[in-house]
Amino acid sequence: MSTFSQFTSLTWTSLAEKPVLETGATVFAFLAATRISRLGGNHPLLNPTLLAIVLISLGLEATHIPYEACLRGADTIHFMLGPTVVLLAVPLFRQRAVIRASARLIAVGLAVGLPVGVLSAVGLAWVLGASSQTILSLAPKSVTAGIAVGISEQIGGLQTLTIVLVIMTGITGAVLGPIVARLARIDDPRVVGLTMGIASHGIGTARALQINEVAGAFSGLGMGLNGVLTAIVLPLIFGWFRF
């Protein structure tokens, strides 16, 4: 073995022991994905999270690194999810004046959007013969991913599957939201924003912000409140039925 290859293999083992490489790769992939998304005018189909997942998957395929190694290494990044979700309290608190001023509208939106969101997904999947694991992973699909993974774990779904389903839902809502609003002839930005936040969390909120500021604020509100309420309601319901 030449000195050079000995050196590289040594470097490689030490890098594999510490999560530097995987963490760096994740950050770099997300940075690249953000640039690509910006080049495409931040179109919802060019979601940075999804792009980064695809980039890393292709990278793993090319280098034959098992994805388990990547997961273990990227624990550092995954860990940050908890504190960041706690911090969602800050933007929600900043919107408290809006919550108070439109309390009834928001309450009705949540009372309709939350159960319809869960039941339509669970119902359609069940009718079309999905496995119970897939159904449980689908149940929190409209909730912002940080909260959705917690719910999924609690009710017995698969966290990784839930993340991908949540992103797919977000993209769908961001694309369909304005189209449905036009078809239904609804032009109240509060209603459109709130609904997009409830149905398609952060990705829908990013799209609602492009409509206008009011739609964006209501969307962020819909996302936050729907996330917290679903986290309270779903584990209780699935705890009772246990299927």
Partner 1 sequence: MLEQISRVMFWLCVGEIAARSGLLPLPAPVTGLILLYAELAVRGKPPDDLGVLADRLLQFLGMLFVPAGVGVIAYLDVLKAEALPILAAVIGGTAITLFVTMMVANWIGIAIARGQEQKPPRLEGAVRDVNL
Using CB under 8 A as the binding rule, the residues of this chain from 122 to 181 that contact partner 1 are 122-131, 133-134, 138, 141-142, 145-147, 149-151, 153-154, 158-161, 163-165, 167-169, 172-173, 176-177, 180-181
- Which is closer to partner 1, CB of 41 or CB of 129? 129
C-alpha to C-alpha distance for 33 and 39, rounded to whole angstroms: 10
Q: What are the angstrom distances between the C-alpha of 57 and each of 81, 204, 232?
A: 21, 25, 34
Q: Are 209 and 215 in contact (CB under 8 A)?
A: yes
C-alpha to C-alpha distance for 202 and 197, rounded to whole angstroms: 7
Q: Which of 1, 104, 241, 242 touches partner 1 (CB under 8 A)?
A: 104
| Angle value at C-alpha 77, between 74 and 83, nearest 5 degrees | 150
Q: Contacts with partner 1 in 5-24 (CB under 8 A)?
A: 22
Determine if 232 is a binding residue for partner 1 (CB under 8 A).
Answer: yes
Q: Are 159 and 136 in contact (CB under 8 A)?
A: no
Q: Which of 74, 136, 208, 221 touches partner 1 (CB under 8 A)?
A: 74
- Which is closer to partner 1, CB of 40 or CB of 123? 123
C-alpha to C-alpha distance for 104 and 69, rounded to whole angstroms: 49
Amino acid at 136: L
* Contact map string, positions 190 to 229, toward partner 1, x by CB under 8 A: xxx-xxx-xxx-x------------------------xx-
From the CB of 40, what's the least distance to partner 1, in Å?
Answer: 15
